[in-house]
């Protein structure tokens, strides 16, 4: 593992936050806030992507603040695009009464 560098980790976190900040800025002139801003799932997902951005900058040993921002921006953006492109047919959550088993889909939860 590379040595932990807090400033570069934080720049990676900032890079992970940039896609959502840019999305909010793009919608700044709309009268009503988008519905997703009122959902806890959006904020938890944003927090997760911020952490992934910092983690990526640390693991890939970013050497400059610019590198850390790029790593932080790219990794959650790619991850979120992959997650958005995966479509599942299941919409039920919780217990499957016929099989008696519990099923949970992270992508389904995130998109709700």
- pLDDT (tens digit, 9 = 90+) per residue, 6-50? 999 999 999 999 988 888 888 888 888 778 788 898 899 889 989
1 domain-assigned:
no
Q: Is residue 43 part of a domain?
A: yes
pLDDT of res. 74: 92
- Its domain, for residue 57, covers 6-111
Number of domains in the chain: 1
- The pLDDT of residue 98 is 55
Tokens representing 16 are 């992970």
Give the number of other Cβ atoms within 10 Å of residue 103's Cβ: 12
Gap between the Cα atoms of 12 and 20, Å rounded: 14
0.75 cut: is pTM over it? no
Residue whose C-alpha is closest to residue 75's, from 18, 29, 16, 33: 16
pLDDT in tens, 72-111: 999 877 776 767 776 554 445 545 555 555 555 655 555 5
Q: Report the pLDDT value the prediction gives residue 89, as an integer from 0 to 100.
A: 47
Which has more pLDDT, 12 or 112? 12
Q: Tell me whether residue 103 is in a domain.
A: yes
Establish if 49 belongs to a structural domain: yes
Residue 111: the pLDDT is: 57
Asked if the structure places residue 96 within a domain, the reply is yes
Residue 86 phi/psi, 5-degree rounding, is -80, 120
Contacts of 39 (CB under 8 A, 6+ apart): 112
Residue 66 lies in a domain: yes
Our measurement of the distance from residue 87's CA atom to the centroid of its chain's CA atoms, rounded to an integer in Å, reads 17
């Amino acid at each position: 593992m590379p040595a932990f560098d807090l400033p570069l980790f934080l720049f990676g976190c900032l890079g992970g936050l940039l896609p959502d900040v840019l999305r909010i800025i793009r919608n700044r002139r709309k009268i009503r806030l988008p519905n997703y801003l009122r959902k806890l799932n959006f904020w938890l997902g944003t927090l997760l992507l911020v952490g992934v951005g910092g983690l990526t900058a640390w693991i890939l040993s970013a050497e400059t603040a610019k590198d850390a921002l790029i790593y932080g921006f790219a990794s959650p953006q790619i991850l979120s695009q992959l997650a958005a492109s995966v479509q599942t047919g299941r919409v039920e959550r919780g217990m499957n009464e016929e099989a008696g088993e519990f099923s949970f889909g992270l992508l389904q939860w995130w998109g709700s």
